[in-house]
Structure 1
């Protein structure tokens, strides 16, 4: 069941209205997609952050616009690079029976045997793209790396098949690898020079 998210329609003019919305502790946004025609809205900042934190980035939220109820996903958002505040959100209205694309975080589980031998785990891919109906979208995908040895890699193709969603990221993309442990450089050795006194003695003969 979708979690209810309270939104308010907003005027798009004048531009200064955006500033006043943010100053009031709300986030401006837009709803578009299935049965929605680019509706400008705003949502309480603290309520929105709590809803996403409690339910997940890929959760379905129920909103009401002009008496009509819509199911929406958080499709995109913009963050102030200095303050870290969410400046704008895009809410995608969805048909619950049609598949959509979404990015899902990859969570590495376990300690690889390569790391136990001194190797260094390097994760290079943190998100993959999947398709699923909105109610089947996973929040994260756990990937067991216990058997990953030094020099081994784990790729998108190693993600177990799941009937709820389909992974559409290139199967050859590497998710993580265990690099060999770094060997400290041995200090260079140089032959000790003979004392000058020895040369001097030879010259005197």
Structure 2
């Protein structure tokens, strides 16, 4: 889904001019890429925030650059470390007829049997890089973890054939793993053939009686 975003060309200036631009409710940025020279631009901060919230940052944006329509994707969003507001954005213009590489978030679905058995689900890698037609970029890649047991993992090789686009990571790229529950700090002692649990203090509960 293309999203039209109005941007304006701007002159590259000093830091003071960028500060003034941000104070006026705009965001400085740059557009570069397919059939376009690197161009400094500015865009409305509120409009950009609204579109990010509605469509995400993996969407194909249709930039209206002073009346000229350009298809582009976000390649970088710089934020203020303290406030979290957007300070600068980079757009890359693209050819809609050619595939491009993009990082897509991984979303876990289902209830893993390993979790039901007391294990812990870990996601060592939360994104995968895919090669896809711009008009077919997914918002997320869903992986069903229902059959993942304790001590096992789900890899790119397990999901590769489920999608029409190419996943660029190797088959052994780990998406999900289920680790066993932490070992309890107990030990067993046998008295008359009956196991007794010793508390973490090392003291037998019966000693206090």
TM range (shorter): 0.7 to 0.9
Counterpart CA distance in 1 for 2:148 and 2:134 is 33
2:107 aligned counterpart, secondary structure: strand
Counterpart CA distance in 2 for 1:171 and 1:52 is 32
Indicate yes or no: 2:45 matched with 1:45.
yes
Correspondence for 2:76: 76
Correspondence for 2:149: 149
Counterpart CA distance in 2 for 1:132 and 1:189 is 59
Counterpart CA distance in 1 for 2:133 and 2:202 is 66
Counterpart CA distance in 1 for 2:53 and 2:35 is 27
Larger Rg: 1
Greater mean alpha carbon deviation, residues 72-81 or residues 138-147: 72-81
- Residue-by-residue CA offset, 1:108-156 (whole Å, 9 max, x unaligned): 1011001001111111100110011111111100000000101010111
Indicate yes or no: 2:94 matched with 1:94.
yes
- Residue-by-residue CA offset, 1:170-194 (whole Å, 9 max, x unaligned): 2211111111111220236479xxx
Counterpart CA distance in 2 for 1:190 and 1:133 is 66
Greater mean alpha carbon deviation, residues 10-19 or residues 182-191: 182-191
Q: Displacement, 1:64?
A: 2.3
- Residue-by-residue CA offset, 1:15-40 (whole Å, 9 max, x unaligned): 31110111111111000001111110
Provide structure 1 residue ranges, at least 5 long, that are not aligned to the other structure: 192-205
Work out whether residues 110 and 144 of structure 2, in 8 Å CA contact, stay in contact via their aligned partners in 1: yes
1:87 aligned counterpart, secondary structure: strand
Counterpart CA distance in 1 for 2:6 and 2:202 is 72
Choose between structure 1 and 2: higher strand proportion.
2
1:89 aligned counterpart, secondary structure: strand
Counterpart CA distance in 1 for 2:101 and 2:51 is 21
1:7 aligned counterpart, secondary structure: strand
Counterpart CA distance in 1 for 2:108 and 2:79 is 26
Q: Displacement, 1:14?
A: 3.0
- Residue-by-residue CA offset, 1:33-89 (whole Å, 9 max, x unaligned): 011111101111111011122122211111122442210111111111111111111
| TM superposition score normalised by structure 2 | 0.86
| TM superposition score normalised by structure 1 | 0.87
Work out whether residues 8 and 66 of structure 2, in 8 Å CA contact, stay in contact via their aligned partners in 1: no
CA RMSD of aligned residues (A): 1.6
Correspondence for 2:122: 122
Counterpart CA distance in 2 for 1:146 and 1:132 is 27
